[in-house]
Chain A
Amino acid sequence: MSDLARVEGERQGAICLVRVHGEIDLSNAQEVSSAIGSAMGQEARWLVVDLSDITYLDSSGVALLLRLAERLQARRRQLHLVVPRGSPVRRVLVFTGLPRVIPVEARLEEALARCGPGSPDELA
């Protein structure tokens, strides 16, 4: 993976926490998507993608998140995003209407708290 973005995955029980650092654009969206996919594995029921250290994200990044949410939903898994207030990423997400589809929290703790038991099934 090129040094434009970095993906780190971590398991916390049934939750998989993936931190993405750097920038996401047309040149690496596919790569970042595959890296998140392999970081998640098969068992996790919730995926929390922390975008706190993302400094740039364009519509190919938004598309990658939407596709990811769709794929997860098909497997009855749920995606949560962490985007701090004031992050440049937050504006892109709001402008594209993404928070209507994927839950977005300002802090990691809030996102983890929302990964309650049973919620993915309720969602389905």
Chain B
Amino acid sequence: MERAAAKLEMRVRQRTSQLSATNLQLAEAQQVARIGSWEWVIPQHRISWSDELYRIHGHAPQGVPVTFETAVAQVNPEDAARIRSNVEAALRRAADHELPNIEYGITRPDGAERVPVGKAKLYVGPDREPLRMVGTVQDVTEGRKAEREHRIAETLQRSLLPDRLPELPGLALAARYLPAGADMAVGGDWYDVVELPSGHVGLAIGDVAGHGLRAASTMGQLRMALRAYALEEPSPAKVVSRLDRLVSRLLVSEIVTLVYLVLDLDSGTVQFANAGHPPPLVMGPEGRTAYLEDGLGSPLGCDEPGLPDERTFRLATDSTLLLYTDGLVERRGTSLHEGLERLGALAAACDQDIEALCETLLRSMVEDETADDVALLAIRPVPLTGRPLLRMPAEPRVLAPLRQTLRRWLRESDADPQVADDILLACGEVCANVIEHAYGAKEGPLEISLDVRDGTAEVVVKDRGSWRPSSGLDGGHGLPLIQELMESVELSGGPHGTVVRMRRRISSGAGS
């Protein structure tokens, strides 16, 4: 009997030591994976936790006694309610089965918050009486935090990019932003289109080094700073130099590349300044392509001398200007030079509208899992053919851009330059009158339609404001001036607005 007992004891000891070796390995594995495990022997109300589960809950391994209640006390109240109802439902079902996975929040004794994901399984006896429940708990706090930050950064980035591009007569615009895929990083790529007070169009694309919330927020600050400087300062090189000062003084330790261009839609002239950014690509309508590599300066904020020189080129009607970030042309295992050549060749072969062009370029240039984010902005001046119809809010700031459009339309219609000046002034006077008087303090639309028939230009200006006797134009110099400038001026209107219809022959040769 004693021998039997001693033998048994020895076997127990052996078994125990084998078990503890296995347990040790298991504990190590659990610690590495941040997975804890537990067992609940239901008839005895006994719960045991693995060492790692104690650690997840912020206790020393096996440091405190565990009951269902003490465990649940650490869980956020609404999550605890879900856990209870899961467990109760499982016990009612009274069959071997896996419980639904549950993600919940806990608070450690030191106040730290963790996010575990729990899996559990119930085993029942021959009479379907609940015997044990076992489960694992994985600490996913770090992953959730990274995912959340990524989501915030991406939302932030999207909200910091223009939600829509301005609609400008005679200008086609298309833009794309593609977040990085592979490493969940959000970059600081951005673009912007700014309608300048002069009626010119400011175009910008840039890249803030680094990823995540910091890069996205720097990008947002830069975009707004560029807008502010662009509204005050017509020279692209000066705008870039102000941004450089801002970056080096206030946004320390960020490297920023940027190209800023100002497009005069009337003449097609583009002035630009490039601070270390990949060169813009220009594509002629016949497939000729050229990179704008001149005047390149160093990136902003890198404490290197060498701000960009301002350069000028002409963007002809139906040509395309393509602005992009390095994510489009950089690919693992190939040089930047190869990327630029590939982009040039693709663009030369692309005979599409610019929306389709952007799609094609992204599809062909970017691998599925991009390491870097990509921003793309395509700009194409298009003829103001047919009968352009311009709609805009009746506000003073629309006058200068409207003149740009009118000048272009008159030139494309081969108007005599002096006649063009007269039509420009007459139309400006009528529109200024609508802006000042049609809507009182309220907002309202201003609509201008343009047409040329048999050498005569017709300009029709409509508003939906209150009818003003003689349209209010005779109050000052307005109406006599317009009658002096145009061959015919008709005013009509009623309670729903006023229409001013003006005509003038536009070619001196045709005899006016």
Contacts and interface: CB of A to CB of B under 8 A. Distances in A.
Interface of A: 1-4, 22-23, 25-28, 56, 58-60, 62-63, 88, 91-92, 95-96
Contact of A23 (B397, B400, B478, B485): B400
The 10 A-B residue pairs with the shortest CB-CB distance in the complex, in nearest-first order: A27-B396, A2-B197, A3-B234, A88-B421, A26-B432, A96-B477, A59-B477, A26-B396, A25-B399, A4-B197
A23 B266 CA distance: 15
Nearest to B396: A27
A60 B399 CA distance: 12
B233 interface: yes
Given A3-B233, A56-B403, A59-B478, A27 B428 contact: no
A92 B425 contact: yes
B435 interface: yes
A91 B426 CA distance: 12
Contact of B481 (A4, A22, A92): A92
Nearest to A94: B484
A92 B421 CA distance: 10
B429 interface: yes
B425 A58 contact: yes
Contacts of B403: 23, 25, 56
Nearest to A4: B197
A10 B207 CA distance: 43
24 contacts: A2-B231, A2-B232, A3-B231, A3-B232, A3-B234, A4-B197, A22-B198, A23-B198, A23-B400, A23-B403, A25-B403, A25-B428, A26-B399, A27-B396, A27-B400, A28-B197, A56-B428, A58-B425, A58-B428, A59-B432, A59-B481, A92-B481, A95-B477, A95-B484
A62 B233 contact: no
B197 A3 contact: yes
Contacts of A2: 197-198, 231-232
Contacts of A60: 432
A27 B197 contact: yes
Contact of A25 (B196, B422, B432, B485): B432
Contacts of A4: 197-198, 400
Interface in B196-240: 196-198, 231-234
B477 A56 contact: no
State the majority secondary structure of interface residues on A.
mixed
State the majority secondary structure of interface residues on B.
helix
B436 interface: yes
Nearest to A58: B428
Contacts of B428: 25, 56, 58
A95 B424 CA distance: 15
B65 interface: no
B476 interface: yes
Given A27-B396, A27-B400, 17 more contacts: A2-B231, A2-B232, A3-B198, A22-B198, A23-B400, A25-B396, A27-B397, A27-B399, A59-B476, A59-B481, A63-B476, A88-B421, A91-B421, A91-B422, A95-B477, A95-B480, A95-B485
Nearest to B428: A58
B95 to A, nearest CB: 76
A60 B437 CA distance: 14
Contacts of B400: 4, 23, 25, 27
Contacts of B429: 58-59
Interface string B453-479: 000000000000000000000001110
Interface in B37-64: none
B214 to A, nearest CB: 33
Contacts of A62: 477
A96 B481 contact: yes
B196 A3 contact: yes
Contacts of A27: 197, 396-397, 399-400
Nearest to A60: B432
B432 A58 contact: yes
Contact of B425 (A3, A22, A26, A88): A88
Contacts of B477: 59, 62, 95-96
A39 B484 CA distance: 34
B476 A26 contact: no
Nearest to B473: A59
B236 to A, nearest CB: 12
B301 to A, nearest CB: 25
A88 B410 CA distance: 15
A96 to B, nearest CB: 4
- The residue among B403, B424, B435, B477 with the most chain A CB atoms within 10 A of its own CB is B477
A95 B481 contact: yes
A95 B198 CA distance: 26
Contacts of A3: 196-198, 231-234
A6 B436 CA distance: 24
Nearest to B398: A27
Nearest to A57: B425
B478 to A, nearest CB: 6
Contacts of A1: 232
Nearest to A29: B396
B483 to A, nearest CB: 10
Nearest to B231: A2
